[in-house]
Chains A and B, each alone.
Chain A
Amino acid sequence: MTVSFGARLALALTWLAAGPLSAQKRVLVPDDSVGAMVGVASRLLWRDVTLTDALGLQSGVAFPVRFPRLPLQVELGGWTALAKRSSRGFTDQYSASAHYQWILVNRPHPNSIVFGYAEYWNPVIRPPNPRTRSNTRELTVSGLFDIGIPQQGIRTIHFQLDAARDVARENATWMRGGASASIGTTIQRMNGDYSLAAIFGAAVSASDFRGPRILGPRPGFGFHSADVELDLQIRARKSAFDATTTLRLAAAFRATRLGANVGWVALRQSLLLL
């Protein structure tokens, strides 16, 4: 969702446009932070598909690159089982992705579209099946929209629409719409700032992913899952970095083909260089 590590660090570009008001150059500046994240979760899920129904490690780094002049944000991610691995389907998963953000409207209510390309590797597939690729590729597009409700004193609700198309293994499509909003407070000290936040999010998704069965007939495109999440977050800013600790409480109500409804808890620590 909107404040997850991946999303927060997902995107970067500088899109230049001529300013109508001045000869001064108008620059739309996205997040170009360099960051890293590590966390443990009571179960590992990816798009509500269970990778490991036990304790798992999540990790990631994000950094901006230019290719050759196109500003991209690169993310490397990992989902690693710390306890038992699944006896059926994928378990560990590693990804590399690159994103390009097209900013449509600048702040204070930013709107943008993000185009992405991702590679996934699943080194462990059980039972072993030579017909199943251990890697796949994906094209993604996301729309990010912020609105506010001033009459209710609600500054920002983040909306995000995601679509992903697997182009190698499943040739399946996944779509998700979600929203999140936060409440929080700040403690300002001479030696640094601290902020406490509670961020509530909800989303619903649809797909024709097979899910953990990997093989078998493709399901019709339809309900995939519905999620609710509550992130309790502590951020601390020092002179050159921002350290964020997030406790996530989440539940997923899933289509039958994905398995039973599940809940999980995750604790993540991320570090952003300012």
Chain B
Amino acid sequence: MSGEAWDPIERDRRYASCKRAGLARLISEGDSWFDYPPHPNIIDFLDGEGFWAIKRFEKSGDTLENIASAANLSRLAGTAQKEKPQAILLSAGGNDLFTDIPEKPNLRWIWRALTPFDPAKTAAEHVDRLPWDEKKTELRQGFIRVIAALGNYAPILIHGYDYLTASGEMALYDGFRAAGPWILPSMRDRGINDPDMQTAILGVLIDEVNEVLGALENTYPESVIYVDLRGSLLPARDWMNEIHPTEDGFHKIEEIFRDALLHRLPEVQRRRPTR
């Protein structure tokens, strides 16, 4: 029977059993889209497919900055060298938009990417280009560090999330620990109160993050498989809170990952030179 699903040690025990059953190996690393405490996430559903043994490193709340640190990449590379995975799954970058900022202790980094509301401006013009371009550069560099450290071992699947929602919904962990909201307070602080404008601005941000990731796939086609999740989730139904899908939403996303692993990964593996 299953143990405690949240427990990384239980996940290791599960990985060992799946390896003994001869399943293809994967490594996963990332944030709450791979390790969401309140309900099953992408990796939990992939694990339930019965195709893969997944060595899991993800941690809810983790940032790309931390994932791409030298110490963590060394740990991941050591594991990849030993376990010889077919692919490495990476979910990262989202929390880098929601780190704490000293000038607004109650708000998150995304506040810096917004300009004060101006009814004459478009959604794109409400994005403060300098900090946002700097953030995108940081994200790109972080992903490149991961690709440089791990790309030789296996293709890396990356994604750029779906369009986040400024719903103001909080997350509830274990029935009593609340987190968030991550987006709406910053929007309101900037005077952006129109839900349509909020949605449009988030669309600009998510589109541009996905452009960065898509470009990485084009630059490193033998090492990167970019999974475009935009438009997969129904805004009114599939989001549990501002940045996390519902359980059904995660299942939808997982099906896209599953199809990428089953149908796109073999092609990339054929293209890779023997290493």
Q: How many A residues touch the partner, as a band?
A: 35 or more
- Pair B258/A21 contact, Cβ less than 8 Å: yes
Residue B175 at the chain A interface, CB threshold 8 Å? yes
- The minimal Cβ–Cβ distance linking B161 to chain A, given in whole angstroms, is 19
Chain A residue contacts of B45, Cβ below 8 A: 107-108
Chain B residue contacts of A22, Cβ below 8 A: 51, 262
- Pair B18/A29 contact, Cβ less than 8 Å: yes
- Pair B13/A274 contact, Cβ less than 8 Å: yes
- The minimal Cβ–Cβ distance linking A32 to chain B, given in whole angstroms, is 5
- The minimal Cβ–Cβ distance linking A184 to chain B, given in whole angstroms, is 7
Chain A residue contacts of B38, Cβ below 8 A: 148, 150, 152-155
- Pair B39/A19 contact, Cβ less than 8 Å: no
Chain A residue contacts of B39, Cβ below 8 A: 148, 150, 155
Chain B residue contacts of A3, Cβ below 8 A: 3-4
Query: Among the listed stretches B19-27, B146-154, B185-193, B230-238, which one makes contact with chain A, having 4 or more residues with CB under 8 Å of it?
Result: B19-27
- The minimal Cβ–Cβ distance linking A134 to chain B, given in whole angstroms, is 31
- Pair A237/B262 contact, Cβ less than 8 Å: no
Q: How many B residues touch the partner, as a band?
A: 35 or more
Residue B215 at the chain A interface, CB threshold 8 Å? no
Q: List 29 A-B residue pairs with CB atoms under 8 Å apart, sorted by A's residue number.
A: A2-B1, A3-B4, A19-B51, A21-B262, A24-B51, A24-B262, A30-B1, A31-B1, A101-B1, A107-B48, A144-B1, A150-B247, A153-B37, A153-B38, A153-B172, A153-B173, A155-B5, A155-B37, A155-B38, A155-B39, A155-B40, A158-B1, A158-B2, A182-B4, A190-B75, A193-B9, A197-B7, A237-B12, A274-B16
Q: Who on chain A is nearest to B246 by CB?
A: A150
Query: Which of the residues B5, B8, B240 comes within 8 Å of A108, measured between beta carbons?
Result: B5
Residue A65 at the chain B interface, CB threshold 8 Å? no
Query: Which of the residues A27, A153, A188 comes within 8 Å of B171, measured between beta carbons?
Result: A153
Chain A residue contacts of B6, Cβ below 8 A: 155-156, 182, 184, 186
Query: Among the listed stretches A4-12, A124-132, A163-171, A213-221, which one makes contact with chain B, having 4 or more residues with CB under 8 Å of it?
Result: A4-12
- Pair B1/A29 contact, Cβ less than 8 Å: no
Residue A260 at the chain B interface, CB threshold 8 Å? no
**In the complex, A40→B10 CA distance in Å?**
24
- Pair B262/A10 contact, Cβ less than 8 Å: no
**In the complex, A25→B50 CA distance in Å?**
8
**In the complex, A32→B9 CA distance in Å?**
15
Residue B71 at the chain A interface, CB threshold 8 Å? yes
0/1 string, B245-259, CB within 8 A of A gives 1:
011000000000010
- Pair A7/B1 contact, Cβ less than 8 Å: yes
Chain A residue contacts of B174, Cβ below 8 A: 153-154, 183
- Pair A148/B247 contact, Cβ less than 8 Å: yes
Chain B residue contacts of A10, Cβ below 8 A: 1
- Pair A195/B7 contact, Cβ less than 8 Å: yes
Chain B residue contacts of A101, Cβ below 8 A: 1
Chain B residue contacts of A183, Cβ below 8 A: 174
Q: Which of A8, A29, A160 has the most B CB atoms < 10 Å from its CB?
A: A29
Chain B residue contacts of A109, Cβ below 8 A: 40
Residue B133 at the chain A interface, CB threshold 8 Å? no
- The minimal Cβ–Cβ distance linking A197 to chain B, given in whole angstroms, is 6
